[in-house]
Amino acid sequence: MNENNEAFLTPGIVGLGKGLPDKVITNLELEKMVETSDKWITSRTGIKERRVLEKDEPPSSLAVSASREALDNAPIDNDDVDLLVVATNVSDMPIPGSSPFVADKLDLRPEIPFFDLKAGCSGFLYSLDVAYNFVLSGNYHNVLVVGLEALSRVVNWDDRSTCVLFGDAAGAGVVSRSGSTGRILASSTFGDPSKSRLIRLEGGGTRFPPADGNKDGRNYYVEMEGKGVFKSAVNMMKSSSLQVLTEAGYSLDEVDWIVPHQANIRIIKQLAKSMGITMDRVIVNLDRYANTSTATIPVALEEAVSGGSIQSGDLVLLTAFGAGAAYGATLIKW
């Protein structure tokens, strides 16, 4: 298959957008809320500040902003979108999720299908995988994929071991056959259920239903075994990255940019080191946004593309890990 035919047939990300709350909470402000310090947070995580939704802002509003920007940047009409996938771990509501609220505010064809997808912090890459395969199948043509997270609503703001780590954001991408940018060369997703308890929010589901009256318990906050996650994260991102490179027939040396899940700068540096990649080829923005779960990769990708770091023709490797444990990687020719 020649390069032109390949460009025509391979689904690509043809538009990107992001949605961020206006409210910023710096490490210095956190020092006044819990027993922590800017020094501890910066040295252990690389985070300096995070964005947080105001109480009256619905989480889906971030996804709507990100989607509008992605659609504006894409060479398609809103009417051409035939599927909406919203990756999120904590939806606006357990039923019906977040995707209907996002669809309702966008000017899309009214009957198109939508659904929420839950795969920990890897949700955006899982959704890209779904979009890639659906578009490849020919059954869908233009899939709007969103990573949406408002973890500020479910972190315990009295628990210094978790509240300093997370932020709110959304990022969106349009996956389409209609363009030649952002061509997805390979996409792989994986899981390790033996690590399913490392990151969890137990309450609110059917195992610990709110109807049991446990509303004030710690079951309703995100909990994490940080060290356990840390140990697995590098291996998961490295193995999935090598897998997509092998699938697409590229070597690590040919990768121009890695856009890893933004959870902790030490994890990212360790990943780069273990892959023999220098940090000047790694996109990092967690100092400004903290860990926004499903939104980290699309927001970082959007900023790297609109800021001119990622250029046409660059080979870009996305990789993520998270609750589940779900992990994966996507290889893209920009």
The nearer residue to ligand UT7, 38 or 314, going by C-beta atoms, is 38
What is the per-residue DSSP string for 288-306? HH-B-GGGHHHHHHHHHHH
Residue 197 binds ligand UT7, judged by CB under 6 A: no
C-alpha separations of 273 from 203, 217, 266, 276 in Å: 38, 40, 10, 5
Neighbours of 169 (CB within 10 A): 30
Residues 265/284, Cβ–Cβ less than 8 Å: yes
Say how far apart CA 210 and CA 25 lie, in whole Å. 29
Residue 284 binds ligand UT7, judged by CB under 6 A: no
Residues 114/86, Cβ–Cβ less than 8 Å: yes
Residues 124/171, Cβ–Cβ less than 8 Å: yes
Residue 200 binds ligand UT7, judged by CB under 6 A: no
Residue 234 binds ligand UT7, judged by CB under 6 A: no
**Residue of 38, 230, 285, 288 interacting with ligand UT7 (CB under 6 A):** 230
The nearer residue to ligand UT7, 182 or 260, going by C-beta atoms, is 260
Structure tokens at 74: 């894409």
**Binding region for ligand UT7 (CB under 6 A) out of 6-14, 15-23, 174-182, 224-232:** 224-232
Catalytic, out of 121, 142, 163, 264: 121
The nearer residue to ligand UT7, 295 or 315, going by C-beta atoms, is 295
Residue 90 binds ligand UT7, judged by CB under 6 A: no
Task: Please state the closest distance from residue 293 (CB atom) to ligand UT7, in A.
Answer: 6
Pairing label, strands 168-176, 12-19: antiparallel
The nearer residue to ligand UT7, 121 or 145, going by C-beta atoms, is 121
Residues 328/270, Cβ–Cβ less than 8 Å: no
Say how far apart CA 252 and CA 255 lie, in whole Å. 5
Residue 322 binds ligand UT7, judged by CB under 6 A: yes
By rule CB under 6 A, what string of x and - marks binding of each residue 122-161 to ligand UT7? --------------------------------------xx
Residue 224 binds ligand UT7, judged by CB under 6 A: yes
Q: Name residues whose C-beta falls within 8 Å of residue 223's C-beta, 6 or more positions apart in sequence.
A: 162, 199, 200, 201, 202
Catalytic, 141? Answer no
Neighbours of 27 (CB within 10 A): 20
The alpha-helical segments, DSSP class H, found in 169-294 are: 226-248, 265-275, 286-289
Residue 121 binds ligand UT7, judged by CB under 6 A: yes
Residue 58 binds ligand UT7, judged by CB under 6 A: no
The nearer residue to ligand UT7, 181 or 264, going by C-beta atoms, is 264
DSSP 90: S
Residue 251 binds ligand UT7, judged by CB under 6 A: no
Residues 261/317, Cβ–Cβ less than 8 Å: no
Residue 44 binds ligand UT7, judged by CB under 6 A: yes
Active site residues: 121, 261, 291
Q: Which residues form the interface with ligand UT7 (CB under 6 A)?
A: 36, 40-41, 44-45, 121, 160-161, 164, 199, 224, 226-227, 229-230, 233, 263-264, 291, 322
